[in-house]
Chains A and B, each alone.
Chain A
């Protein structure tokens, strides 16, 4: 029948109880932020290895997180002193940090 799909039922429910809209909004915000942060950890975290076998063409610039142990070993060695490691920098000015360790 016409109005019994899940989208139609959802729409009718919302029209009867509009107070659900802010609820869905905030829960969506929370779950979305959590998912995005997990994605950031998976793709940009320089101290994890995840998978160990996929081939990757060497012409692609290597990302900071390593999903490929063979072609991108030890991604943490490629962090420069100016890379922002943390999500939020309250009073550290990363542009001003100097490298005072010897190179490998």
Chain B
């Protein structure tokens, strides 16, 4: 989950998110280098007494500042495309969970082995227990087995929503009349928070998502209890 004054991305909980974190570090470093170089050059240009008023021809420097940015862009594009294709790979999920967006809550259906359906509403601020996170806690968390590939099928019953969990690198739009698929794989147990990411009305900021990743035996016990 996010913490106050956070500047970077949340810690990765899935292999794809780890790749995204490294890519973000790589690209941000390039951005910082270029920005500081440009800032430095601007400061030099603004504080010099030298002038040159006739037309200049500068073939060499023009060649350099064409080739160098092109190389930098290729160095950004290649890892980016690699991660993009990696996200779409075939991975044989062991479980399928459906989530439907409503105004203003999420509902979850686990129908592989039994008929398990429940709604997940945000806990209002007045009813939070000490230690719980404001605007992020829900009454029924999405309990899932960790270290297993899970297929999430996402759609909506009314307007556009978006099912997002930043620490797993997931964000998939929930579109009425359409079924979108994403795969989820958590490498460690814990609670992972996300919020609806597509404007959907007055309570758009108040329909969070909480994933509770647990070992498989705990998941089996929980799903037997919940049916």
Contact = CB atoms under 8 A, between A and B. Distances in A.
A67 B64 CA distance: 45
Interface string A18-41: 110111001000000000000000
Interface stretch (A1-9, A43-51, A70-78, A86-94): A86-94
Contact of B90 (A18, A26, A87, A97): A97
A95 interface: no
B66 A91 contact: no
Contacts of B58: 19
Interface residues of B, number: 15
Please classify the interface of chain A as helix (H, G, I), strand (E, B), loop, or mixed, using the class held by over half of its residues. Answer: loop
B59 A19 contact: yes
B59 A92 contact: no
B63 A19 contact: yes
A99 interface: no
Given A22-B70, A26-B70, A97-B90, A88 B85 contact: yes
A25 B227 CA distance: 63
Contact of A18 (B63, B67, B82, B88): B63
Nearest to A19: B62
B86 A22 contact: no
B89 interface: yes
A92 B183 CA distance: 15
B76 to A, nearest CB: 14
Contact of B89 (A19, A26, A87, A92): A92
Contacts, number: 36
B85 A19 contact: no
Contacts of A101: none
B44 interface: no
A88 B58 CA distance: 40
B81 A23 contact: no
Contact of A17 (B59, B67, B82, B88): B59
Contacts of A88: 81-82, 85
Contacts of A18: 59, 63
Nearest to A88: B85
Interface of B: 58-60, 62-63, 66-67, 70, 81-82, 85-86, 88-90
Given A23-B66, A86-B88, A91-B89, 9 more contacts: A19-B58, A19-B59, A19-B62, A22-B70, A26-B66, A26-B70, A88-B81, A89-B89, A90-B82
10 closest cross-chain pairs (CB), A and B: A19-B62, A88-B85, A19-B63, A19-B59, A26-B70, A90-B86, A22-B66, A92-B89, A22-B67, A23-B66
17 contacts: A19-B58, A19-B59, A19-B62, A19-B63, A19-B66, A22-B63, A22-B66, A22-B67, A22-B70, A26-B66, A86-B85, A86-B88, A88-B82, A88-B85, A91-B86, A92-B90, A97-B90
